[in-house]
Each structure stands twice: as structure tokens, then as C-alpha cells.
Amino acid sequence: MPKKWRNNTIRDRHRAVIAADEPPCAECGRAIDYTITDQYDPWVFTVDHVVPLALGGSDLLANKQAMHRLCNLKKGDRLPGCTTSKQRPAPRTGRDSTYEPTTALARGIPADQLPPGVTFVTGRDW
């Protein structure tokens, strides 16, 4: 499916309309500092799509809301109230996901002497 280009003029107009009322963040409810100009500041004003474009939402003003950048990044392409948008990958199984004592033994470290949480040891002899 070809990418649908969005109109920057309409985007900027919608952004200005939303910012004019200075609403609080739709995700966390805290006030947004509309004077921040650094686009990478986590508390800068961003426009979020209530129903994400990736899920078939429209690019109309009625489908947009104010959010902090950090809150918008956390929400991602989820619908309001959803905790996950995509199914998590299945846990890894097989040789790479299990501890093999021979790996540690090959480095000369007995398996019972590994620190807690260490499942393998790698290294290079240069």
C-alpha cells in the first residue's frame, strides 16, 4: 500500500488550534508548558491521534489531542485504555536461551562459581 502523504499546512493549523486552548496532557492530565521550543524535551507539546493512523484513524482535528512528547511516545499506536497494541513475541527457546555449563567451563570458570544472574561467559584471548 503506498504511503498517504499528509498536508503540512493542515497539520500546522490543527497544531495551532489545539495549542490555542492550552489543554492539559490527554494521557497524564498534567499541564503542558507550551513555551518549550526544544522538540526533544520530554515535556514539549505534541499532537496525538486519539485513534492512531496505523489503526485506521483519521487525520481530522476531531481525532487529535494534546500530549507531552514523553506521554505520546509511551502511548505509541495504541487506542486509549489499551495496554498493548501488538502481541509480544514468544519467549526464546532452544540452545541460545539456556545456560550451557560447557561455555563457562571452556573459559575455565566452574559453573557453581558464576555470580548470581550470570548465565554465560564470553571472552577473547588476543
pLDDT tens digit sequence for 52-102: 988 888 999 999 999 999 999 999 888 877 755 454 445 555 554 444 444
Q: What is the pTM of this model?
A: 0.61
| Segment 33-54, tens digit of pLDDT | 999 999 999 999 999 999 998 8
pLDDT of residue 60: 92
- With b for 16 or more beta-carbon neighbours within 10 A and e for fewer, the 40-65 pattern comes to eeeebbbbbbeebeeeeeeeeeeebb
Domain extents in the chain: 8-75, 98-126
Select the more confidently predicted residue: 81 or 108: 81
